[in-house]
Amino acid sequence: MKTKILVVDNEDPIRKSLVKLIQHFSGDDVIIYEATGVQDGIQKIEDHKPEILFLDIEMGDGSGFDLLTAIEQHHFQLIFTTAHNQYAIQAFEFSALNYLMKPISPLALQKTLSKAVENIKHKSMSENIEILLAQMGKSNVKNGDQKIALKDANGTYFIKIKDIIYCQADGPYTKFYLVNNNPLIISKNLKEYELLLVNHNFLRCHHSFLVNTNLIAKFERSDGGVLIMEDGSQIPVSQRKKDQVVEYLER
């Protein structure tokens, strides 16, 4: 059975070029539909029920996020196509969703498309999309219930942000310590997660530690400074970060 793909982009040359690339890599194994904007995309999704959706962010009649908000069921693999939009890219990283930067690299497209085809039957992206929409302020998810998607070699974990006690650098990896759960080791460095979590009350107190300030029980100033977390963990505060930590906690 052929895989149904929908490409939504309001710029005709870019959309047509992407369609040609998909056809080049997929041959007769796909049926490709096109939509020129948000409303057209919503209609085409209803009509054709695509298994893979390539979605532009900024279009003439709204954004790709508006399209996702308007659809109740997200039964497709989602791949965003975007020009430079750092805020949106951080949201994609937060939700572990695939994206391609324009101009689209044929090699990146081939890799991402192959992964999407492989995931059609056994991986729903509904929760990833819900996390994305919450990040973009287009969801009714309460702050305390907001999640982050963390991927490791075994799969994707959807973790409530409030349940992350602290993160610890481990070379190119980050170790997440969680409330009532085993730690997770994720193959991204701590700096990347600092950028993603800084707006969720997380604070870098040391070059190796990022803490959830909502779960700090005590700050001990002795020995250069130590944060005592609610689970009893003791997190060092570096001399360089001490003034910043004190200022944050006293505000």
54-86 per-position pLDDT tens digit: 999 999 999 999 999 999 899 999 999 998 778
In this structure, which amino acid lies at residue 204? R
For the residues 132-139, what does the mean pLDDT come to?
88
- Longest CA–CA separation in the chain, Å: 68
User: What tokens does 123 get?
Assistant: 């991986």
Measured in whole angstroms, the distance separating CA 231 from the mean position of its chain's CA atoms is: 27
The model carries a pTM of 0.89
Cα–Cα distance, 201 to 214 (Å, whole number): 7
Q: Is 201 exposed, middle or buried (0-12, 13-18, 19+ CB in 10 A)?
A: middle
Helix (H) or strand (E) holding 79: strand 77-82
Question: Which residues have CB under 8 Å from 214's CB, separation 6+?
Answer: 162, 201
Pairwise pLDDT comparison (82 vs 138), residue with the higher score: 82
The rounded mean pLDDT for the chain is 94
In this structure, which amino acid lies at residue 227? L
- Say if residue 224's pLDDT is above 80: no
Backbone angles phi, psi at 152, to 5 degrees: -130, -170
- Say if residue 144's pLDDT is above 80: no
- Say if residue 10's pLDDT is above 80: yes
Torsional sign, CA 158, 197, 224, 219: negative
- Which pLDDT belongs to residue 221? 85
- Which pLDDT belongs to residue 169? 98
- Which pLDDT belongs to residue 141? 75
Give all domains of the chain, ordered by start, each with its CATH number: 3-135 (3.40.50.2300), 163-250 (2.40.50.1020)
For the residues 217-238, what does the mean pLDDT come to?
92
- Kindly indicate the confidence band of residue 174, based on its pLDDT and cuts at 50, 70 and 90: very high
**What pLDDT, in 10s, does the model give residues 232-244?**
999 999 999 999 9
- Which pLDDT belongs to residue 4? 98
- Which pLDDT belongs to residue 222? 76
